Amino acid sequence: MTDKLSHILEHAYANAPAVRAIFDQAGLTPGDVRSASDLDKIPVTSKDRLVEMQQANPPFGGFLAVPIEKLQHIFLSPGPLYEPHAGESAVMDTIREMFAVAGFTPGDVVINTFGYHLIPTGLALDQAFREMGATVIPAGVGNAELQIKMMLDLKVSGYVGTPSWLMALIQKAEESGLDFRKTFALKKALVSAEPLPPALRQTLVEKYGLQIANAYGTADLGFLAYNLEGGLAMRLLETSIVQVVNP
């Protein structure tokens, strides 16, 4: 973790003017931060402050750390915040770890119901699934009847999306007279982007026989923590460097 942290900070300090300014104003250099505990030395920059900095210095507020022509995508996340992506990133590492935790394997046929427009979630998960050898159905948001047909025809084994939409699909299938557990091939689901109530998890696991992984993440950092057993407690992902702060 020390090498990873040092690389991130040194690259950001050298290439992102806003990061250099934060360090300089605090009297720090990247060499002063060598472990996760040293992160306490760096002033907290809130997400609201990031929005202000982008508005004052558009489009990226001084946080772009690669030449702009190297960017592959520019997303717009809630805030609103422009999210520049230049390809391979620490975010993708968190997604790969989360897929392993959730039990996805090469050969899975996965319906991806996260959005593909403006936000990074749908495309990032799509890329990681394809890299691991899974087949992706880029369903995105909405159109329950078509999604149910695809899940049935294509023998979908995995689902990623919100837990409420998964339950909505199951209920829609049952309203059509289908026995979901017997008729569909779905076995595993990675849900995120909203709370997973205990009663809903219990229904998905016990009534429908699904393996449920519940993940917490953000658009700018990827997945950070997960839960496989229910309850409120979550485990931190090993690929993430997480600091709990008092702002």
Q: Residues 171-194: what's their mean pLDDT?
A: 97
Between CA 154 and CA 161 the distance in angstroms is: 18
pLDDT at 90: 83
Asked if residue 168 lies in contact with residue 144, where contact means CB atoms within 8 angstroms, the answer is yes
Give CA–CA dist 22/32, Å, rounded.
13
CA 91 to each of CA 20, 60, 230, 237: distance values in angstroms, whole numbers, following the listed order: 22, 18, 25, 12
Q: Taking a C-beta distance cutoff of 8 angstroms, is the pair 54, 100 a contact?
A: no
What does the pLDDT average to over 212-224?
Answer: 93
Q: What is the mean pLDDT of residues 116-129?
A: 94
SS (H, E, C) 61-125: CCCCCCCHHHCCEEEEECCCEEEEECCCCHHHHHHHHHHHHHCCCCCCEEEECCCCCCCCHHHHH
Helix (H) or strand (E) holding 150: helix 144-153
Structure confidence at residue 4 (pLDDT): 85
Peptide bond into 67 cis (omega under 30): no
Average pLDDT over residues 207-216: 97
Give the pLDDT band of residue 1 (cuts 50, 70, 90): low
Amino acid at 172: K
Whether the pLDDT of residue 146 is over 90: the answer is: yes
**pLDDT at 151 > cutoff 90:** yes
**pLDDT computed for residue 232 by the predictor:** 84
Compute the average pLDDT of residues 155-175: 98
Q: How many CB atoms lie within 10 A of CB 204?
A: 21
CA 83, CA 64: separation in Å to the nearest integer? 9
34 or 171, which is more confident? 171
Task: Determine the pLDDT at residue 164.
Answer: 98
- Cβ atoms 158, 189 nearer than 8 A: yes
pLDDT tens-digit profile of 36-94? 889 999 999 999 999 999 999 999 999 999 999 999 999 998 789 999 998 878 889 99
DSSP bridge pairs for 213:
190
Residue 86's Cβ-side half-sphere holds a number of Cα atoms within 13 Å equal to 9
Mean pLDDT in the chain? 94
pLDDT above 70: percentage of residues in the chain = 99
Name the percent of the chain lying above pLDDT 90. Answer: 85
Distances (CA, A) of 201 to 73, 162, 173, 211: 34, 12, 18, 10
Q: How confident is the model at residue 246 (pLDDT cuts 50, 70, 90)?
A: confident
The span from the CA of 180 to the CA of 97, in Å, is 29
The string of DSSP letters for 164-205 reads HHHHHHHHHHHHTT--HHHH----EEEE-SS---HHHHHIII
pLDDT digits (tens, 9 = 90+) for 82-121: 999 988 788 899 999 999 999 999 999 999 999 999 989 9
